[in-house]
Structure formats: structure tokens, C-alpha cells
């Protein structure tokens, strides 16, 4: 970009801009290495008067702009993209400059003729121009984001409201259309950021908005993962069907809720809407109870037992029950709590595919304290043998006391952030 033009755009110096224009108007068409125009640059720094001046100068004096009339040339100018696929409107939304965004939309949208308003004839040139303008305003950059997406990403309710207010019907398609593969719907983004005001605004525009995000996750999945209880409540009220939607790993929102220690209120909300989700298994054959047994808190266990008292009978692909998973957690308090639950009595001596009971799993940890806990429970069959003919005592005596042989195959919550 011409250095004087860049300086003027960055600082918002209209006098310097006019000097550049008077000397050589073609300098206004130069771009930065990232293909940003003078309008892109000035928008990023929030210089609305400068933006207006550049727009007026180019529109008035530059006949090389695309189109044979002022409106078409204006559209070409204001929707020019940089190397990231960003229009000036993307930049304004990302930077939070609502007044500039409003100006850009007003200039891009053509005025309606009386015929447009009264007849609504789609073949009318005025209507066609308006449809083209709408497509331009809803343009997605190379990250597949519209200006509204950018505003939601920064939790800018004022910007979102300003964009929508300019023409509510304009933005309806991005809320209503089916989610693109790997993309993030506005509702998903708002749920991830915990933007309650924006979510309410979305539902005002579109009663049943698109809800998807990457890896088959829904807005409810991501609200649960981020711990936004208020958002969870709204989504369960407005889009109840999300409660039993699964992602590409077969996991419901409840699977993720039980993977955290402080999500018992969210677990309660989910189960209150549909207890059947407590019995769904993911692609690894794990129920929410399995995951809670391994990763979560006693408060979460209590919610699961209250709403789904028999879900503890569910087995994973290796026929391990929730008590097997509790023992793998190596949390003494949790193990003690589980052993005292009447609902789980039948699980105490249940063997997996290798013939190992939860007591066998406990023995492999080499903990005298844990062995004592099981031996003091009258329901534990201390003589039970696995497929190798081993009792829990034999396993315990065969390893160093401080050794820990049982592998804690955790429900990989780290994937939530990596995927």
C-alpha cells in the first residue's frame, strides 16, 4: 500500500487522504501485503469519518470500479475482500465498531422502490439488487464466518443487535440454514461464550435456529463443556430435542457433564428434562454413570442415582460396571461411598470379561487401606477368582505394596479441547 495512504488510514488523517487523492487517485487502490484496502485499514482503527471520505472519493472519481452504475460500483468497493476473505464489515464486527458496521450496511443495501414494497416481485431489478446485497452482507470469510459470527465470538451484544436491527430478515438464513460440515452456527458460538443476551436475540429472530458445531456437537454440548448453566437452561427450554443429541463419538451432553467435578447442577437440569439419557452408551460403550464414576464428584453420583437408580447396571464393552470404574478412579472417598449404596449392591461381586471383580481391581492398586475397605464389607466375595484362577488377595500379595498396576483408562475429557 502507498505509505502515505497507509499512514492516513491508520491515523484517520482526512487532510493527508485528500492530498493523496489530489496527487494521484490510483494510489487509493493500492493494498497491503494481506490485500487490505484503505477502507479495511481505517475500519480496523475505527475511523468512521475517514471511511466515509475514502468511500466517497473512490465512488465519485474512479470509473474502473466494477459496474455501470453508482450502486454496483459501491457494492464492488465495500465488499472487496482481503487475503483472509474479510470484507470491511467483517473487520468492523471483529473490532467492535458498530457505527461503522451500520454505515457499511446502509451503503450496501439498495433503497427499495415503491414497487418492491407493494408487489414484492422477485423478477424486479430492485428486488434482485437487494438479494445480491444481502448475499454480500452475509458473505463468509475463509474461516466460514459472517460478520455476525465475528461479533458473537467477541460476545459483543451491541454489535450483534446493531447488525440484526439494520435488517432482521437479512440475517435469518444464517440462523436457520442447516449447519455446514465442520462449521459453527451462531447459536453454537453464543452458547460456547455464554452469551445469554445474544442467545435470546437469536431465538427472537428464528424460533428454531441451527445449533451445530464441529465434530457433531450441538450448542448444548458446548454449553455443558464450558459450564454455562444459564445457557443450558435456555437451550433446554427452547430446543428440548438437544438433550439426547449425540456427537460423532456418540456422547450426549450428559456424558460431558458427568466428566467434570462441579457440574451437578447441570446434570440435574439435563436429567430433569429426560432421564433416558442416563442410559445411553457412547461409541466406547460408556454411560454417563461410568464416566462420573471415573472422573466426577459424589454430588454428581447422587444426582444420577436419584434420577436413574438402575443405570448402575449398565456395562461397558468389557462388561465392567460402574464400581469397576470407581475403583479405577483411585479416590478412596468415592469408592467408600459407592460400596455403601444399596442401589449398587449387586455390582460388588460382578466380574468383567476377564473374571475380575471390583475387588480384584482394588487389589491391583496395592493399597492396604483400600483392601481393608473391601474386606470390611460383608457383601464382598473375598474368594472370587478371575479367569486366571486368582483371588484378590493373591493379586495383592504378588505385587509390591506401594505399586499401582491398575491402569486408569480415563474418559478422555482432554479431547474436548483438542478436537
Contact predicate 343/312, CB 8 Å: yes
CA–CA distance from 178 to each of 95, 134, 163, 210, 217 (Å)? 28, 18, 21, 6, 14
Please write the tens of the pLDDT for every residue from 177-233: 544 555 788 899 899 989 898 898 888 877 888 898 889 999 999 999 999 999 999
CA–CA distance from 411 to each of 37, 38, 204, 276 (Å)? 49, 51, 38, 21
Contact predicate 352/327, CB 8 Å: no
pLDDT at residue number 76: 66
Is position 14 within any domain?
yes
Is position 37 within any domain?
yes
Q: Which domain holds residue 56?
A: 1-112+128-142
Is position 264 within any domain?
no
Q: How many CB atoms lie within 10 A of CB 322?
A: 29
pLDDT at residue number 25: 78
pLDDT at residue number 346: 86
Is position 121 within any domain?
no
Predicted model pTM: 0.75
Q: What CATH code is carried by the domain that includes residue 15?
A: 1.25.40.20
pLDDT at residue number 91: 93
* Residue given cell 438402575 in the structure block: 310
Joined grid coordinates for residue 372: 481393608
Q: What does the alpha-carbon distance between residue 45 and residue 12 come to, in Å, rounded to a whole number?
A: 8
Total tally of structural domains belonging to the chain: 1
pLDDT at residue number 79: 81
Is position 138 within any domain?
yes
Is position 154 within any domain?
no
pLDDT at residue number 115: 35
Q: What does the alpha-carbon distance between residue 24 and residue 77 come to, in Å, rounded to a whole number?
A: 18
Is position 104 within any domain?
yes
3-state secondary structure of 365: coil
* Residue given cell 454417563 in the structure block: 288
pLDDT at residue number 336: 93
pLDDT at residue number 414: 41
Q: What does the alpha-carbon distance between residue 113 and residue 136 come to, in Å, rounded to a whole number?
A: 20
Is position 150 within any domain?
no
Consecutive 10-residue averages of pLDDT for the chain (419 residues): 91 90 83 91 92 81 50 64 92 90 81 38 54 77 86 84 70 59 79 90 83 91 96 95 95 95 93 95 94 92 91 92 94 91 86 96 93 92 95 90 44 45
* Residue given cell 468497493 in the structure block: 77
Amino acid at each position: 500500500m502507498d505509505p502515505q495512504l497507509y499512514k492516513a488510514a491508520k491515523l484517520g488523517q482526512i487532510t493527508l487522504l485528500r492530498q493523496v487523492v489530489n496527487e494521484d487517485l490510483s494510489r487509493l487502490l493500492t493494498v497491503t501485503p494481506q490485500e487490505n484496502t484503505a477502507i479495511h485499514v481505517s475500519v480496523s482503527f475505527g475511523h468512521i469519518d475517514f471511511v466515509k471520505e475514502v468511500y466517497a472519493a473512490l465512488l465519485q472519481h474512479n470509473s474502473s470500479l466494477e459496474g455501470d452504475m453508482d450502486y454496483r460500483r459501491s457494492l464492488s468497493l465495500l465488499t472487496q475482500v482481503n487475503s483472509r476473505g474479510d470484507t470491511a464489515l467483517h473487520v468492523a464486527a471483529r473490532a467492535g465498531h458498530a457505527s461503522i458496521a451500520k454505515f457499511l450496511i446502509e451503503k450496501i443495501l439498495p433503497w427499495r422502490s415503491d414497487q418492491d414494497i407493494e408487489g414484492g416481485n422477485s423478477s424486479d431489478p430492485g428486488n434482485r439488487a437487494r438479494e445480491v446485497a444481502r448475499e454480500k452482507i452475509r458473505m463468509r470469510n475463509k474461516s466460514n464466518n459472517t460478520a455476525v459470527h465475528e461479533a458473537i465470538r467477541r460476545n459483543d451484544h451491541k454489535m450483534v443487535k446493531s447488525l440484526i436491527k439494520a435488517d432482521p430478515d437479512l440475517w435469518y438464513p444464517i440462523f436457520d440454514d442447516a449447519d455446514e460440515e465442520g462449521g459453527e452456527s451462531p447459536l453454537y458460538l453464543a452458547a460456547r461464550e455464554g452469551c445469554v443476551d445474544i442467545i435470546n436475540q437469536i431465538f427472537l429472530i428464528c424460533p428454531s435456529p441451527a445449533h451445530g458445531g464441529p465434530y457433531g456437537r450441538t450448542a448444548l454440548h458446548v454449553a455443558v463443556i464450558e459450564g454455562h448453566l444459564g445457557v443450558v437452561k435456555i437451550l433446554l427450554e427452547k430446543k428440548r430435542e438437544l438433550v439426547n443429541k449425540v456427537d460423532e463419538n456418540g456422547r450426549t451432553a450428559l456424558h460431558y457433564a458427568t466428566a467434570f467435578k462441579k457440574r451437578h447442577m447441570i446434570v440435574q437440569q439435563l436429567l430433569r428434562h429426560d432421564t433416558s439419557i442416563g442410559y445411553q452408551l457412547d461409541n466406547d460403550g460408556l454411560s454417563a454413570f461410568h464416566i462420573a464414576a471415573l472422573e466426577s464428584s459424589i454430588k454428581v453420583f447422587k444426582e444420577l442415582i436419584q434420577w436413574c437408580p438402575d443405570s448402575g447396571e449398565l456395562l461397558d464393552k468389557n462388561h465392567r460396571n460402574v464400581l469397576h470404574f470407581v475403583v479405577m478412579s483411585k479416590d478412596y472417598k468415592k469408592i467408600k461411598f459407592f460400596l455403601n449404596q444399596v442401589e449398587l449392591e449387586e455390582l460388588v461381586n460382578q466380574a468383567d470379561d476377564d473374571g475380575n471383580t471390583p475387588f480384584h481391581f482394588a487389589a491391583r492398586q496395592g493399597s492396604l487401606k483400600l483392601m481393608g475397605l473391601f474386606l470390611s464389607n460383608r457383601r464382598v466375595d473375598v474368594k472370587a477368582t478371575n479367569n486366571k484362577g486368582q483371588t484378590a488377595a493373591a493379586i495383592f500379595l504378588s505385587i509390591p505394596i506401594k505399586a499401582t498396576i491398575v491402569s486408569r483408562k480415563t474418559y478422555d475429557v482432554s479431547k474436548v479441547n483438542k478436537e
